[in-house]
A and B are shown apart, each in its own frame.
Chain A
Amino acid sequence: MLSSRLNVRLLPSVFALFTMACSGGHRNDQAPAPSASGESPSAPAAPSRMLTLKDSDTMVILAQRFAEAYMRTHPGTTIQVSGGGSGVGIAALLNGTTDIANSSRPMKDEEKARLRETRHQEVAETRVALDALAVYVHSANPVQQLTLEQLSQIYTGRVSNWRDVGGPDMPIVLYSRENNSGTYAFFKEHVLRTADFAANAQTLPGTAAVINAVSRDRGGIGYGGIAYGEGIRHVKLAGADGQAIEPSLENATSGRYPLSRFLLMYTAGNPSALAADFLRWVGGVDAQRLVEVVGYYPLPGVLPPSAGTTPTPPPAVAPSAAPAAPAAPPQ
């Protein structure tokens, strides 16, 4: 239900059908269906050509794009992507049910320790993209900027009216994420400094749901990945130095924006050849271009600077997307 399952394995076949329908059935070579094994001469369909990615909700679209592109350029491989929150991916890695866990928060020490204990494996971390956590308010809200301290007071419930942070006399309605989300953990650690969220913070099962809720609530405030931020006004954030910084590529890569983070992929033990190759590919130019397309920021130094300065607008993740499926498959 929550793990908006996107069976990427099916997508090439769907594409194949689509291209066949469009071109009269002459071409489906660019979309080899890995399920129909043996058609690709270079790679025999063996279990080792199969990779599963369990996902952070924030990363599900990105991971899916990666999988599509990788399968297109590496015929005979199958990559399955499923979402559900960073905790889900890491839990799956601990339980040994996924090859790669995508996470929008670093793995906790106790989680690493548990893996060492139960499966005698070390984790390897790969940086995939750079993301800045944005704070959203309703577009009619005049509040332009907040300090991290104010944000912390708002989310712990010590400030409950917009009047106290320079806005109109209006109660603040808090929107937060379910506690299995990496965004939640990141926010709790970096904004609340591990204090508890106010009890009346409403938790929603996806960034799209948060955006949807804030867009319908004049007093609302929410947070989430910047890639989803369409249709909502972002608030500039001020860190310790008191300068209000807008979430943008330069500010995220330079570290001036206080809430930026790396999106990560984790493997346990010795990754399979396929997983290792996939992770190498993810750090390359092709994959980083996709990062840009999806709306995150590419890893610093991979793309030529001219291409990296203006990230294309985020994809249309309709704010109306159901919270149960925060990451609808892009069509």
Chain B
Amino acid sequence: MNDIVGETGPRTLDRANQRDSATTSHADLRASISPRGPLQKRTPTPIWHRIAEKMIAATSVAAVLAIALIFVFIGREALPLLWDHLGMNLRDMIFPRQWTGYDSAVYIWQPVGTPEKFNAMPLFIGSLKVTLLTMVWSIPIAIGAATFVSQYAAKRVRDIVKPAIEMLAGIPSVVLGFFALMVLATWLQDTFGFAYRLNAIVSAIALSLTVIPIIFTITEDALHAVPKSMREASLALGARHWQTTLYVVLPAALPGIAAAVILGFGRAIGETMVVLMASGNAAIMEPLNPATSVRTVTATIAAELGEVAQGDTHWRVLFMLGVVLFLITFVLNRLGARVITRLHKKLTAS
């Protein structure tokens, strides 16, 4: 992004200047005909343009540097766990173990006590469970809404619906969490009779309120960007409105929609406050039952990091969870980017 702003723009400007200087006589003539003002004048690039360019470049470098430094910081706290085990067995973070006092091998997260039990599987299962549940209803709702707004809605309706959905993104997640905790959870329990008042479904519904606006906005933009000529060609060939939407517009916007879904997923898996408040935070290993309480990785880090002494095993394990979460979102983003470029190539080439 910054490359384009910082370099390509001014360079084309330079080129325009050069061309103009080569054809001065014509330029004077053209200037009188067409109002192409500033580019015609052979002013040298002012010094502050260069300074501004450098500063813009510096900000982009700073952003990259910040990410790198964060990664270095987190890694420095977490990685010693790999060679200095601090009295714990790394296998126990992933595989079940039969601890004394238990009847069978269990996945268990009990970081306080002797011995401390740091099995991270329930946490990752919890995070994935909530995130997938969220996506299950966020994707259809958001894409459906975006399709309606961009393809069917009258302009007056769109002017109301679009900002309203986008405003959802502006609600602080702590407010959503509070709403889910106080209102939604009770209502859902009364309606469906869940054994756990706070469970994955409650937090997934609250989470979807943060995810839907993201998917909606990007999808809507993608649909909007589909060239009008494609729609018109389809309609001219006799396709109905819904056929045009389903077989022409939506496929053409697929890369954008994929990007929307990936960003939504990243938001959902990284969200902390809603799940901390509304999921009950019990580290249970039940991947298939959506009506049980869950404890996510993010909520665990948020709830526990304040307590531990620096350099403690628990401290390092929490940072390790952060590293793994970071890697998951990083890999997902990279994969997503590749899917998008591939889709894009396929769609534009054929």
Contacts and interface: CB of A to CB of B under 8 A. Distances in A.
Given A111-B309, A179-B112, A180-B307, A200 B198 contact: no
Nearest to A2: B306
Contact of A179 (B122, B186, B304): B304
Nearest to B114: A194
Interface string A209-226: 000110011001000000
Interface stretch (B24-32, B239-247, B280-288): B280-288
A317 interface: no
Contact of B178 (A95, A197, A203, A322): A322
B277 A202 contact: no
Nearest to A3: B306
A91 B307 contact: yes
B237 interface: no
Contacts of B198: 202, 213
A210 B304 CA distance: 17
Contacts of B273: 1, 324
Interface in B94-128: 99, 101, 106, 108-114, 117, 122
- Interface residue tally of chain A, by bracket? 35 or more
Interface in A85-100: 85, 87-88, 90-91, 94-95
Q: Say whether chain B's binding surface is mostly helix, strand, loop, or mixed.
A: loop
A171 interface: yes
Given A94-B309, A95-B309, A197-B110, A205 B303 contact: yes
Given A171-B195, A217-B197, A324-B277, A199 B310 contact: no
Contacts of B276: 205, 324
Nearest to A201: B282
A277 to B, nearest CB: 29
A194 B117 CA distance: 13
Given A111-B309, A196-B113, A216-B186, A2 B284 contact: no
B304 A323 contact: no
B196 interface: yes
A2 B197 contact: no
A119 interface: no
A111 B314 CA distance: 14
A140 interface: no
B122 A199 contact: yes
A67 interface: no
Nearest to A111: B309
A114 interface: yes
A323 B181 contact: yes
A9 B205 CA distance: 40
B166 to A, nearest CB: 26
Nearest to B101: A195
A195 B114 CA distance: 9
Nearest to A192: B113
A278 B86 CA distance: 39
A58 B156 CA distance: 54
A178 B308 CA distance: 12
Interface string A172-212: 01100011100011001000001111011111110000001
B131 interface: no
B210 interface: no
B109 to A, nearest CB: 8
A322 B182 CA distance: 9
Interface string B283-316: 1110000001101000000111011111000000
Contacts of B122: 199
Contacts of A185: 112
Which among A173, A180, A202 has the highest number of chain B CB atoms within 10 Å?
A: A202
A203 B295 contact: yes
Which among A3, A185, A196 has the highest number of chain B CB atoms within 10 Å?
A: A196
Contacts of A87: 306-308
Given A180-B307, A196-B117, A202-B293, A173 B302 contact: no
Contacts of A194: 113-114
B112 A188 contact: yes
27 contacts: A1-B273, A1-B302, A2-B302, A84-B307, A85-B306, A87-B308, A88-B306, A91-B306, A91-B309, A173-B197, A180-B303, A185-B112, A196-B99, A196-B113, A196-B117, A197-B110, A199-B106, A199-B282, A200-B292, A201-B282, A202-B198, A202-B281, A203-B295, A204-B280, A216-B197, A324-B276, A324-B277
Interface of A: 1-3, 84-85, 87-88, 90-91, 94-95, 111, 114, 171, 173-174, 178-180, 184-185, 188, 194-197, 199-205, 212-213, 216-217, 220, 320, 322-324
Given A85-B306, A199-B106, A324-B174, 17 more contacts: A2-B306, A114-B309, A173-B195, A185-B112, A188-B113, A196-B110, A196-B117, A199-B108, A199-B122, A203-B303, A205-B303, A213-B197, A216-B197, A217-B197, A322-B174, A322-B178, A323-B181
8 pairs of A and B residues whose beta carbons are closest in the complex: A180-B307, A87-B307, A202-B280, A179-B112, A203-B281, A202-B282, A196-B110, A178-B303
